[in-house]
Amino acid sequence: MNRNPRRIKLGYLLPTRENVMRGDHSAASLLEAARMARDCGFDSVWAGDSLFSRARHDPITLLAAVAAATPEVYLGTAVLLPALRNPVVLAQQLATLDQICDGRLIVGIGQAADTPPVRAEFAAAGVPFEKRIGRMLEGLNLCRALWSGEPVTWQGRWTLDQVTLGPQPFRRGGPPLWLASNVAAGVQRAGRRFDGWFPIGPTAAAVAANHRLLTTAAADAGRGVPTTAAYLTICIDDDAAAAEARIDEYLNGYYGLPAKVLRGVQACRGGSVEQVLGFLQEFVTAGADHLVLRVVGDHRHALNRLAARRAALESP
């Protein structure tokens, strides 16, 4: 008996960092990019997060505008750094955004890489960098408590006495939280405690191995398997060598590090639409349900060509 196809969702990462790098600080061009993704049939639009190490627009504020501009798609952070923020303020901001978009918000979260620029961001925000994972987890637990609608008393890094948050999120319990991690402990944590897992690479084989860890951790916790959303960098050009060279140039400029190093931790592929679709299919086979794409080169061309061929990603 044939089973119904598994529908794979396609997401588009807004070029917030790229626009600022080339001196375009407007929001209008980003809203137009979000509408372009919607018109191409993409399911979600995403925004990254950084203060100044990779300067870009604030994702929470920006996504509120995207919610009004594109009421048909889901909105997400890829990824938010919650440890930089007071969780009480963050809980209110995310609840408000979830109301603005009628429950279409997905909160992708990360722990923040240990680099000098990121440490400088924490220092500038007045937040200790050490023990940031524990700070992040406690802060998210506090957000969830505040999203319950019940009075919250809390004794920990933050102190609350019978506090009730308003507004409440659109969805009972708050927006889904997807944890970004490529290490075993983080993947297992996502399986036990989060609504989704957000790997960034570097290969489909690595994602498949970690997906098995995710599935086992979820089963041990008596939960269903969280959504898996792969974060992938692509460039579509019939000249595969030119496309790969463009990705290398992009990575060098974006991170200020050798592309060879970055390709060791991030999943990237340049080539024809058939070659890129084959690359994406590898991650679907590895367990991904949602593909969040960072596009290098002509964004409209890439999105149109992928949207026209998205049925190739559907699997039984």
pLDDT at position 189: 98
Q: Is the dihedral of CA 264, 267, 269, 274 positive or negative?
A: positive
**pLDDT at position 1:** 38
Instruction: List Cα–Cα distances, 245 to 166, 236, 251, 259, 315, in angstroms.
Output: 50, 12, 10, 10, 31
pLDDT computed for residue 185 by the predictor: 96
pLDDT of residue 219: 98
Residue showing tokens 């890129």:
276
At residue 5, the pLDDT reads 65
User: Following CA atoms 229, 29, 265, 267 in sequence, which dihedral angle do they give, to the nearest 10 degrees?
Assistant: 60
Averages of pLDDT over runs of 10 residues in the chain (316 residues) are 69 98 97 98 97 97 98 97 98 98 98 94 96 97 98 98 98 97 97 97 96 98 98 98 98 96 97 98 97 98 95 76
pTM: 0.96
Bridge pairing between strands 159-163 and 152-155: antiparallel
Rounded to an integer, what distance in angstroms lies between the CA atom of residue 195 and that of residue 179?
Answer: 8
Q: Looking at residue 6, what is its pLDDT?
A: 76
**Four-point Cα dihedral 182, 207, 248, 109, nearest 10:** -40
CA 233 to chain centroid, in Å, comes to: 13
